[in-house]
């Protein structure tokens, strides 16, 4: 079925009012050579029930698993009220708030989102969202280049391999040099490996916790960047960690970029999620994306508008700070409502419960024959990598048979150099029973 | 008039809770034993502490200050604010989709990969293209993908001279912004009196330095580029590529295909043509479909099928790379897939026909009072408020604000830049004749008001939650986050 409301009577009346005899006349500007005379090779229309049966059939071929995979997407509980509220038509069927007088709901929610992201990251200002953590990081690199007018970027340590690939894609047409500064034996950035940071460096990019879940020493890296007149971009692919560990802002970062999925958004095969972008106030005019600001109406009442729009493509066109237009508004709203529901203490509990689960499992796994933590001396929050005695992909496959997603095989990422590595993440949703099952799957190798 | 709603932070009281969290299900150790104390945060983020019911009331209350498609016509031009079918929302939330982790092995993601593969084929058929990437998260990211494809294609042929991309003066702002981001130079082309790309302007710009032409079709005036075959031939003859911004595909679906017009690359806005909701600014999805000769350069991973099962395809050595952190806005793809399967081959064509019919009907009702300098468009028309302004002093901005009082959203205004006092209006196919009449009546009433009581219009809106907001003040006195200064 289509969603066209017209009856034949309507259609005739409308054609008469227009002064044409057929709908096809309205298409007369299209050269006949390219107008199709037959239908497209598409399936026949389905009724709603037939469509539901079809699509649910697809969904049923993705088994539901107890999830121990992370790597930038985490399986947290989203409170029912958060999903209920984002299903309100007022939110999800609205457009970008270009007419602020009838968009105060969306605008106020974004203002609250910006505030929460500033609180989490310890930064001064945040935008209304980017597509995801990877593209937020790529935009942070572009902003650092524009702010410093330098062209070299140092990607340090275990930055998410997909984020690294997206940065490479985004910068390929620009004259930008990407330098990799690998991680040391402990799985962390080695300051000695940053010898090349110098007068050409626009920024150092460091992720903490890094892709292997390890907490980096960010502050010395910020100092190193600042000594060279460069910026520090701190990447947060696991924002739940911010409830427990020091924020990018506290550690001297100039830009914080990251992923907000665990707040309000299901894994959804990696999208739609919500990219986070925050910075020091002095960089606000260099920031990409939409920003909401408070102001007053003609009666002196408080209200919100999109502000500093001269940074954006709809005004500045070829000279905009970014080409982004549509962002992840509804996902940012979900994050805002989730964070409002869970609150200051609740988020700490989610993080702590996740960390307790992870550390308990780590100690159990370390006792298994043939297993060891990949970096036993380095601190982690709720995600860590282990060295497995056999092929980690085979372990993941065997986990599927037991109803588990038993982590992410690091053999997928040759750059990490841990072909026998398995990356495991824990959330508040996992139970002791599931962890026991995981241990059993690993024991059987 | 609406009441001012305090922020959620002002509703916070220490010790209140909106939801509860499971306790650890394992033996618990002190946090300091798990994480070295030098890494621990001294103060927790000041997230609000509000009971669930109050959170629900807060966001319900502010939501009521929004205009939205489920309330009334939302005629933003080139935004295609059509009805968002409810079944799509239900499908995207199926646990087999919502709960699927992107690192699940292919054998545990067959449903998702199969859906993506099939959606890709359906969209290729609609676009008349050979191959597709579903990865771009929005139209602008689709554009970036497309322009990087141009770059990769030319470089793949050993041609590194092509530094310029041609864009008509009526183009959306993301086009030039994207071209700059991809490292190319923008060359702006004139439109002719008919609102179409000026062929002389194109001919004189085409040379061996041109990577390609980005051309929305129908263009942002809603006008079909009827010389498209000549344009494609000229561009191809000079070695360039044809890129279509698919923002306006709703006018063409099932009737004419970009691939048959000579385009090599097109991005499709699933959040426009394919009914997925705009969500107050996103998420969208901007798949990029291409002709076979560009397929090797598409982003990784794609989705491949072999022996009846599906897998991610990372084996594209000439790929421009990865453009999204994972595989794109999958939840949006589920919605678009549901929509396309329900429409089927006939529904796709009916949709385009009704979109054009609705716009023609609305244009017939309005054009006497609001002239169309470039004529009636296909799915959208760009009216000019210049005559009204000259006669009454009432600007397009005022007309737009007054429409809000009548319970409608305003059209896109002051765009495209080549129409004075522009009102770019796209009703979409899902509006009834009665709703179009209601909207036309409102605009005509406003034109009368402008003549008889101009201050009523210039002072509008009057019936909205707030009146006109001081945007200058917002830019001068930056207030972009709650300050907490007044907290006890």
User: Across-strand partners of A372?
Assistant: A387
> How far is A443 from A157, CA to CA, in rounded Å?
31
| Minimal CA separation from B55 to chain A, in Å | 7
Q: Do residue B35 and residue B51 come from a single domain? A: yes
Q: Do residue B221 and residue B329 come from a single domain? A: yes
This prediction has a pTM of 0.98
Domain boundary residue among A271, A304, A336?
A: A336
Chain B nearest-CA residue for A299: B467
What residues of chain B lie within 8 A of the CB of A1, using their CB?
342-343, 347
| Minimal CA separation from A436 to chain B, in Å | 10
| Facing B48 at nearest CB: one of A39, A54, A343 | A343
Cα-based distances in Å from A182 to A186, A189, A212, A384, B216: 11, 7, 13, 18, 44
What would you report as the CA-atom Rg of chain B, rounded to the nearest whole angstrom?
25
Instruction: Kindly state whether residue B161 falls inside one of the protein's structural domains.
Output: yes
| Minimal CA separation from A339 to chain B, in Å | 7
What residues of chain A lie within 8 A of the CB of B24, using their CB?
352-353, 356-357, 360
pLDDT computed for residue A318 by the predictor = 84
Establish how many alpha carbons lie within 13 A of residue A354's alpha carbon, considering only the half-sphere containing its beta carbon.
Answer: 32
Q: Judge whether B110 is closer than 8 Å to chain A, CB to CB.
A: yes
Q: Do residue A137 and residue A206 come from a single domain? A: yes
Instruction: Kindly state whether residue B285 falls inside one of the protein's structural domains.
Output: yes
Q: Do residue A208 and residue A286 come from a single domain? A: yes
Q: Do residue A71 and residue A93 come from a single domain? A: no
Positions of E strands within B178-278: 185-189, 210-214, 241-246, 265-268
The answer to whether B446 and B398 are in contact (CB under 8 A) is no
Instruction: Give pLDDT < 50 ranges for chain A.
Output: none
Q: Do residue B183 and residue B320 come from a single domain? A: yes
Stretch (H or E) spanning A306: strand A302-306
> How far is B126 from B274, CA to CA, in rounded Å?
11
Neighbouring C-beta atoms of residue A185, cutoff 10 Å: 9
Instruction: Kindly state whether residue B73 falls inside one of the protein's structural domains.
Output: no
Task: Suggest the residue from A42, A162, A170, A434 to mutate for an interface test with chain B (most B CBs closer than 10 A).
Answer: A42
The boundaries of the domain holding residue B396 are 346-473
CATH no. for residue A421? 3.90.1150.10
The answer to whether A138 and A171 are in contact (CB under 8 A) is yes
Q: Judge whether A298 is closer than 8 Å to chain B, CB to CB.
A: yes
> How far is A237 from A256, CA to CA, in rounded Å?
10
Instruction: Kindly state whether residue A2 falls inside one of the protein's structural domains.
Output: no
Q: Do residue A104 and residue A246 come from a single domain? A: yes
Q: Judge whether A91 is closer than 8 Å to chain B, CB to CB.
A: yes
pLDDT computed for residue B1 by the predictor = 44
* Rounded mean pLDDT, B161-190: 94
Positions of E strands within B291-394: 302-306, 309-313, 381-384
What residues of chain A lie within 8 A of the CB of B91, using their CB?
51-52, 55-56, 59
What residues of chain B lie within 8 A of the CB of A234, using their CB?
none
A59 and B111: CB-CB below 8 Å?
yes
Domain boundary residue among A336, A358, A393?
A: A336
Q: Do residue B12 and residue B134 come from a single domain? A: no
Helix axes A8-18, B330-366, angle to 10 degrees: 50
B280 and A109: CB-CB below 8 Å?
yes
Stretch (H or E) spanning A442: helix A432-443
Domain boundary residue among B65, B96, B116?
A: B65
| Facing A3 at nearest CB: one of B85, B104, B410 | B85
> How far is B186 from B168, CA to CA, in rounded Å?
10
Q: Do residue A269 and residue A207 come from a single domain? A: yes
Q: Judge whether A363 is closer than 8 Å to chain B, CB to CB.
A: no
Residue owning tokens 């050993």:
B158
Q: Do residue B194 and residue B210 come from a single domain? A: yes
B105 and A396: CB-CB below 8 Å?
yes
Instruction: Kindly state whether residue A176 falls inside one of the protein's structural domains.
Output: yes
Instruction: Kindly state whether residue A12 falls inside one of the protein's structural domains.
Output: yes
Q: Do residue A126 and residue A267 come from a single domain? A: yes
Q: Do residue A30 and residue A92 come from a single domain? A: no
Q: Judge whether A48 is closer than 8 Å to chain B, CB to CB.
A: yes
Q: Do residue B365 and residue B322 come from a single domain? A: no
Instruction: Kindly state whether residue A423 falls inside one of the protein's structural domains.
Output: yes
State percent of chain B over pLDDT 90. 96
What residues of chain B lie within 8 A of the CB of A245, using their CB?
35, 39-41
Task: Suggest the residue from A117, A146, A211, A268 to mutate for an interface test with chain B (most B CBs closer than 10 A).
Answer: A268
**Could you tell me the two tokens for A377?**
């001396």
How many domains, chain B?
3
pLDDT computed for residue B486 by the predictor = 61
Sign of torsion over alpha carbons B295, B297, B299, B303: positive
A360 and B26: CB-CB below 8 Å?
yes
Q: Do residue B43 and residue B181 come from a single domain? A: no
Instruction: Kindly state whether residue B72 falls inside one of the protein's structural domains.
Output: no
Q: Do residue B321 and residue B218 come from a single domain? A: yes
| Minimal CA separation from B451 to chain A, in Å | 23
Instruction: Kindly state whether residue B8 falls inside one of the protein's structural domains.
Output: yes
pLDDT computed for residue A242 by the predictor = 98
Cα-based distances in Å from A40 to A2, A405, B425: 15, 41, 28
Q: Do residue A174 and residue A322 come from a single domain? A: yes
Residue B62, helix vs strand vs coil: helix
DSSP summary character for residue B446: H
**A231-236 and A275-279 strand pairing:** unpaired
What residues of chain B lie within 8 A of the CB of A362, using their CB?
none
What are the pLDDT digits (tens) for A203-243? 999 999 999 999 999 999 999 999 999 999 999 999 999 99
Q: Is B2 exposed, middle or buried (0-12, 13-18, 19+ CB in 10 A)?
A: middle
Instruction: Kindly state whether residue A332 falls inside one of the protein's structural domains.
Output: yes
> Shortest CA distance to A291 belongs to which of A271, A275, A277, A272?
A277
Task: Suggest the residue from B45, B180, B310, B479 to mutate for an interface test with chain A (most A CBs closer than 10 A).
Answer: B45
Q: Judge whether A45 is closer than 8 Å to chain B, CB to CB.
A: yes
Domain boundary residue among A273, A301, A336?
A: A336
Q: Judge whether B179 is closer than 8 Å to chain A, CB to CB.
A: yes
What residues of chain B lie within 8 A of the CB of A13, using their CB?
433
For chains A and B, CB pairs below 8 A equal 709
pLDDT computed for residue B488 by the predictor = 43
- Indicate the pLDDT class of residue B487, thresholds 50, 70 and 90: low
* Rounded mean pLDDT, B212-240: 97
Phi, psi of B268 (to 5 degrees): -110, 135
Instruction: Kindly state whether residue B484 falls inside one of the protein's structural domains.
Output: no
> Shortest CA distance to A309 belongs to which of B270, B414, B394, B59?
B414
What are the pLDDT digits (tens) for B295-321? 999 999 999 999 999 999 999 999 999
What residues of chain B lie within 8 A of the CB of A20, using their CB?
360
A271 and B5: CB-CB below 8 Å?
no
Q: Do residue A261 and residue A385 come from a single domain? A: no
Instruction: Kindly state whether residue B75 falls inside one of the protein's structural domains.
Output: no
> How far is B59 from B339, CA to CA, in rounded Å?
29
Q: Judge whether B466 is closer than 8 Å to chain A, CB to CB.
A: yes
Q: Do residue B60 and residue B113 come from a single domain? A: no
Which residues 300-319 of B are in CB contact (within 8 Å) with A? none
Instruction: Kindly state whether residue A341 falls inside one of the protein's structural domains.
Output: no
Q: Judge whether B463 is closer than 8 Å to chain A, CB to CB.
A: no
Q: Do residue B313 and residue B198 come from a single domain? A: yes
Chain B nearest-CA residue for A24: B353
Q: Is the ipTM of this complex over 0.95?
A: yes
Establish how many alpha carbons lie within 13 A of residue A137's alpha carbon, considering only the half-sphere containing its beta carbon.
Answer: 33
Instruction: Kindly state whether residue A342 falls inside one of the protein's structural domains.
Output: no
Instruction: Kindly state whether residue A314 falls inside one of the protein's structural domains.
Output: yes
DSSP A348-394: HHHHHHHHHHHHHHHHHHHTSTT-EESSTTS-BSSEEEEE-SS-HHH
Q: Do residue B169 and residue B210 come from a single domain? A: yes
Instruction: Kindly state whether residue B129 falls inside one of the protein's structural domains.
Output: yes
The boundaries of the domain holding residue A355 are 66-76+348-443
Q: Judge whether A300 is closer than 8 Å to chain B, CB to CB.
A: no
Task: Suggest the residue from B325, B358, B399 to mutate for an interface test with chain A (most A CBs closer than 10 A).
Answer: B325
CATH no. for residue B370? 3.90.1150.10
Q: Judge whether A12 is closer than 8 Å to chain B, CB to CB.
A: no
CATH no. for residue B230? 3.40.640.10
* Rounded mean pLDDT, B154-164: 96
Q: Do residue A183 and residue A326 come from a single domain? A: yes
| Minimal CA separation from B460 to chain A, in Å | 10
What residues of chain B lie within 8 A of the CB of A429, using their CB?
22
- Indicate the pLDDT class of residue B4, thresholds 50, 70 and 90: confident
A119 and B85: CB-CB below 8 Å?
no
Query: How close are the terminal C-alpha atoms of chain B, in Å?
Result: 30
> How far is A51 from B43, CA to CA, in rounded Å?
50
The answer to whether B175 and B247 are in contact (CB under 8 A) is no
Task: Suggest the residue from B10, B21, B29 to mutate for an interface test with chain A (most A CBs closer than 10 A).
Answer: B21
A314 and B104: CB-CB below 8 Å?
no
A103 and B2: CB-CB below 8 Å?
no
Q: Do residue A274 and residue A409 come from a single domain? A: no
Q: Do residue A126 and residue A248 come from a single domain? A: yes
CATH no. for residue A91? 3.40.640.10
Bin B128: left if φ > 0, else alpha if -120 < ψ < 50, else beta: left
Q: Judge whether B393 is closer than 8 Å to chain A, CB to CB.
A: no
| Minimal CA separation from B355 to chain A, in Å | 9
Phi, psi of B25 (to 5 degrees): -100, 20
How many domains, chain A?
3
Q: Do residue B51 and residue B92 come from a single domain? A: no
B283 and A272: CB-CB below 8 Å?
yes
What residues of chain B lie within 8 A of the CB of A247, using their CB?
41, 45
A5 and B16: CB-CB below 8 Å?
no
Q: Judge whether B404 is closer than 8 Å to chain A, CB to CB.
A: yes
Phi, psi of B450 (to 5 degrees): -60, -35
């Amino acid at each position: 079925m289509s969603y066209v409301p017209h009856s034949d009577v309507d259609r005739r009346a409308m054609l008469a009012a227009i002064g044409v005899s057929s709908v096809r006349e309205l298409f007369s500007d299209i050269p006949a050579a390219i107008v199709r005379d037959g239908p497209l090779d598409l399936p026949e229309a389905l009724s709603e029930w037939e469509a539901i049966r079809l699509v649910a059939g697809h969904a049923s071929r993705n088994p539901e698993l107890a999830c121990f995979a992370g790597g930038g997407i985490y399986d947290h509980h989203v409170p029912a009220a958060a999903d209920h509220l984002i299903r309100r038509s007022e939110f999800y069927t609205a457009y970008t708030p270009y007419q602020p007088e009838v968009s105060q709901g969306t605008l106020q929610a974004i203002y609250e989102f910006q505030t929460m992201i500033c609180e989490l990251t310890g930064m001064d200002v945040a935008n209304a969202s980017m597509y995801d953590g990877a593209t937020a990081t790529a935009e942070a690199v572009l902003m650092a280049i524009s702010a410093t007018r330098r062209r070299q970027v140092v990607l340090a340590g275990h930055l998410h391999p997909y984020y690294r690939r997206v940065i490479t894609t985004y910068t390929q047409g620009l004259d930008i040099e990407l330098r990799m500064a690998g991680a040391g034996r402990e799985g962390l950035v080695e300051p000695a490996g940053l010898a090349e940071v110098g007068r050409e460096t626009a920024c150092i990019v460091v992720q903490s916790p890094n892709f292997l879940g390890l907490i980096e020493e960010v502050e010395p890296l910020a100092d190193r960047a600042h000594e060279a007149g460069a910026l520090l971009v701190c990447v947060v692919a696991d924002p739940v960690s911010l409830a427990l560990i020091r924020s990018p802002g506290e550690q001297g970062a100039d830009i914080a970029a990251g992923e907000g999925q665990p707040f309000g958004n299901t894994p959804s095969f990696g999208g739609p999620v919500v990219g986070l972008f925050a910075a020091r106030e002095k960089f606000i005019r260099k920031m990409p994306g939409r920003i909401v600001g408070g102001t007053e109406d003609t009666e002196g009442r408080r209200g919100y508008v999109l502000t500093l729009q001269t940074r954006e493509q709809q005004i500045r066109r070829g000279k905009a700070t970014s080409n982004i237009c549509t962002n992840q508004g509804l996902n940012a709203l979900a994050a805002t409502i989730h964070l409002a529901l869970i609150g200051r203490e609740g988020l700490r509990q989610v993080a702590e419960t996740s960390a307790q689960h992870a550390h308990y499992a780590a100690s159990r796994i370390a006792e298994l024959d043939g297993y060891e933590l990949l970096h036993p001396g380095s601190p982690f929050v709720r995600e860590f990598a282990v060295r497995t005695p056999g092929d980690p992909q085979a372990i993941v496959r065997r986990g599927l048979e037991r109803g588990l997603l038993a982590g992410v095989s690091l053999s997928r990422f040759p750059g990490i150099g841990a072909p026998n590595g398995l990356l495991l993440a824990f959330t508040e949703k996992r139970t002791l029973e599931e962890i026991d099952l995981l241990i059993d799957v690993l024991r059987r190798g | 008039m609406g009441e001012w709603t305090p922020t959620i932070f002002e509703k916070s009281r220490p010790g209140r809770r909106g939801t509860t969290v499971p306790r650890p299900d394992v033996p618990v150790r002190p946090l300091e034993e798990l994480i070295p104390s030098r890494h621990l945060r001294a103060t927790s983020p000041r997230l609000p502490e509000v009971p669930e019911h109050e959170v629900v009331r807060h966001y319900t209350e502010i939501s009521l200050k929004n205009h939205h498609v489920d309330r009334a016509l939302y005629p933003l031009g080139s935004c295609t604010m059509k009805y968002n079918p409810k079944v799509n929302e239900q499908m995207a939330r199926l646990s087999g989709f919502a709960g699927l982790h992107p690192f699940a092995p292919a054998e545990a993601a067959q449903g998702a990969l199969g859906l993506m593969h099939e959606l890709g084929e359906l969209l290729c058929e609609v676009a008349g293209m050979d191959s597709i990437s579903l990865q771009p998260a929005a139209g602008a990211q689709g554009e970036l993908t497309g322009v990087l494809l141009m770059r990769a294609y030319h470089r793949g042929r050993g041609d590194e001279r092509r530094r310029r991309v041609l864009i008509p003066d009526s183009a959306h702002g993301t086009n030039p912004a994207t071209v700059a981001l991809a490292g190319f130079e923008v060359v702006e082309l004139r439109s002719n009196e008919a609102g179409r790309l000026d062929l002389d302007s194109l001919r004189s710009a085409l040379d061996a330095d041109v990577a390609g032409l980005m051309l929305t079709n129908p263009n942002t005036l809603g006008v079909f580029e009827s010389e498209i075959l000549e344009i494609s031939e000229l561009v191809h003859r000079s070695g360039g590529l044809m890129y279509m911004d698919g923002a306006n595909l709703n006018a063409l679906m099932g009737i004419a295909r970009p691939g048959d017009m000579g385009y090599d690359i097109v991005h499709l806005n699933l959040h426009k043509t394919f009914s997925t909701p705009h969500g107050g600014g996103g998420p969208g999805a901007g798949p990029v479909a291409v002709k076979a000769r560009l397929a090797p350069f598409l982003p990784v991973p794609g989705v491949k099928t072999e022996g009846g099962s599906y897998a991610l395809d990372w084996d594209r050595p000439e790929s421009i790379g990865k453009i999204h952190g994972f595989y794109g806005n999958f939840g949006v793809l589920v919605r678009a897939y549901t929509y396309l399967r329900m429409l089927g081959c006939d529904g796709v064509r009916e949709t385009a026909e009704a979109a054009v019919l609705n716009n023609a009907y609305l244009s017939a009702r309005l054009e006497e009072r609001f002239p169309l300098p470039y004529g009636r468009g296909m799915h959208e028309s760009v009216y000019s408020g210049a005559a009204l302004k000259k006669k009454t002093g009432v600007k397009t901005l005022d007309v737009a604000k007054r429409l809000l009082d009548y319970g409608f959203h305003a059209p896109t205004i002051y765009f495209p830049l080549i129409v004075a006092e522009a009102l770019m209006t796209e009703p979409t196919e899902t509006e009834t004749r009665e709703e179009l009449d209601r909207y036309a009546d409102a605009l005509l009433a406003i034109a009368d008001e402008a003549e008889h009581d101009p201050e009523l219009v210039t002072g509008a809106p009057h019936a909205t939650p707030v009146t006109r907001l001081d945007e200058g003040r917002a830019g001068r006195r930056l207030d972009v986050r709650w300050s907490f200064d007044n907290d006890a």
